[in-house]
């Protein structure tokens, strides 16, 4: 029988061992709330429901990054700039944030028309939950290097306030999302291999493999708080 | 996101509501920059209506904190929702940003009352 509602879709995917995929191009509050509900259902099934409020932030940052990467592709294409050329990249990024923020709904509509989207894959693991966020544009080497830098900054600091001055990025904006996510995952007790990023075959894949040791699962909200 | 500004003695209270995210965090930063350029003697950010914050919103708060510290004008942040507070806790910002419970506490603190429990960066 074909599933009808959100909960049925989650349970159908889980019992049939399938991945549940949600596709969005806009990711505005209504879509975010929908994805939050699905994510919450998976976390509860994995015994991590008490971490929903904390982990949903990480999923949001990954989807927002993926959507922003798609917006960037539209912006560069419309201006005839080659995103892979370092000089043209720097040139395009000068106005990217202010131009797109001011007119984001129009950009989101154009990236949908261009076929650029974000897919969020949810899977229940034997001891946790996997969330993969995919957008159908490959990272440039410069973008990949910037993300690696952010992860290194997060690894070197214990406090976001200390990391903030070093993670500010004149081209990309504050560039704080990946750093914040790394802090949050670490402070919730997740290992350094929880977040993985790959790019190729026409897409970028950011994944969270959320597994907690049994003592952290049993500890509930207090135990899960760092 | 909506921002409304109230003058209180020589300080200013900014009531912020909606989503503090990539698409509007810069507006809050600009509003505080304008106050800092004027004669405001202190700023209270009342986040009572903020239910969602992302990294751009957090970056805006950190920038505002740095700006006001540099210009020797006190900042207080009050009425932080549970979900926003959780973001601050997990990033170890709750002891860094000058967060107090209520607007009353914020104004009292700016008048010389007890300062928020802040850790040095």
| pLDDT tens-digit readout, A105-151 | 999 999 999 999 999 999 999 889 999 999 999 999 889 999 999 99
Torsion from C-alpha of A134, A135, A140, A141, nearest 10 degrees:
-10
Closest residue in B to A63 (Cα–Cα)? B54
Q: Cβ–Cβ of B121/A162 closer than 8 Å? A: yes
Q: Which pLDDT band, with edges at 50, 70 and 90, does A173 fall under?
A: low
CB atoms within 10 A of CB A1: 5
A212 or A25, greater pLDDT: A25
A146, two tokens: 């910037």
Whether residue B118 lies within 8 A of chain A, CB to CB, comes out as: no
pLDDT tens, per residue, chain B with 121 residues: 899 999 998 999 999 999 999 888 999 999 999 999 998 999 999 999 998 999 999 999 999 999 999 999 999 999 999 989 999 998 989 999 999 999 999 999 998 866 776 654 4
CB atoms within 10 A of CB B120: 6
Whether residue B17 lies within 8 A of chain A, CB to CB, comes out as: no
Helix H or strand E encompassing A180: helix A177-188
- From residue B54, how far is each of A113, A122, A167, B60, B115 by CA, in Å? 26, 22, 15, 10, 27
Cα–Cα–Cα angle for A24, B86, B20, rounded to 5 degrees: 50
Q: Cβ–Cβ of A64/B23 closer than 8 Å? A: no
Which residues 69-108 in chain B show a CB within 8 A of chain A? Answer: 82-83, 86-87, 89-93, 96
What is the pLDDT, as a whole number, of residue A3? Answer: 62
**Chain A interface disruption, residue of B1, B91, B97, most A CBs within 10 A:** B91
Rounded Cα distance between A207 and A203, Å, is 13
Q: Which residues of A touch B23 (CB under 8 A)?
A: 101, 104
Tell me the whole-structure pTM to 2 decimals: 0.88
Q: Cβ–Cβ of A187/B54 closer than 8 Å? A: no
Helix H or strand E encompassing A125: strand A118-125
Closest residue in B to A180 (Cα–Cα)? B91
Instruction: Note the helical H segments in A29-103.
Output: 29-45, 52-78, 86-101
């Amino acid at each position: 029988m074909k599933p009808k509602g959100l909960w049925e879709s989650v349970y159908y995917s889980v019992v049939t061992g399938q991945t549940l995929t949600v596709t969005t191009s806009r990711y505005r509050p209504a879509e975010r709330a929908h994805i939050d509900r699905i994510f919450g259902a998976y976390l509860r099934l994995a015994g991590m429901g008490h971490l929903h409020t904390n982990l949903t932030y990480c999923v949001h940052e990954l989807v927002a990054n993926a959507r922003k990467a798609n917006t960037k592709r539209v912006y560069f294409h419309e201006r005839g700039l080659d995103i892979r050329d370092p000089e043209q990249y720097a040139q395009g990024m000068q106005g990217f944030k202010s131009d797109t923020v001011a007119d984001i709904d129009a950009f989101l509509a154009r990236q949908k028309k261009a076929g650029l989207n974000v897919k969020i894959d949810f899977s229940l693991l034997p001891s946790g939950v996997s969330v993969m966020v995919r957008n159908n544009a490959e990272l440039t080497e410069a973008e990949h290097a910037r993300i690696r830098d952010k992860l290194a900054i997060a690894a070197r600091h214990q406090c976001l306030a200390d990391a903030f001055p070093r993670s500010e990025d004149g081209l990309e904006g504050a560039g704080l999302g990946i750093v914040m996510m790394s802090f949050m995952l670490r402070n919730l007790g997740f290992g350094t291999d929880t977040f993985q990023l790959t790019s190729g075959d026409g897409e970028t894949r950011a994944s969270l493999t959320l597994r907690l040791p049994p003592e952290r699962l049993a500890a509930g909200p207090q135990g899960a708080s760092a | 996101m909506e921002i409304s500004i109230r003058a209180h003695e020589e300080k200013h209270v900014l009531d912020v509501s909606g989503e503090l995210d990539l698409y509007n965090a810069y507006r809050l930063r600009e509003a505080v920059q304008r106050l800092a350029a004027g004669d405001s003697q202190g700023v209270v950010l009342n986040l009572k209506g903020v239910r969602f914050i992302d990294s751009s919103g957090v970056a805006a708060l950190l920038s505002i904190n740095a700006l006001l510290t540099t210009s020797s004008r006190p900042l207080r942040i009050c009425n932080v929702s549970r979900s926003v507070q959780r973001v601050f806790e997990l990033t170890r910002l709750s002891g860094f940003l000058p967060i107090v419970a209520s607007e009353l506490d914020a104004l009292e603190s700016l008048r010389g009352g007890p300062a928020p429990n802040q850790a040095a960066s």
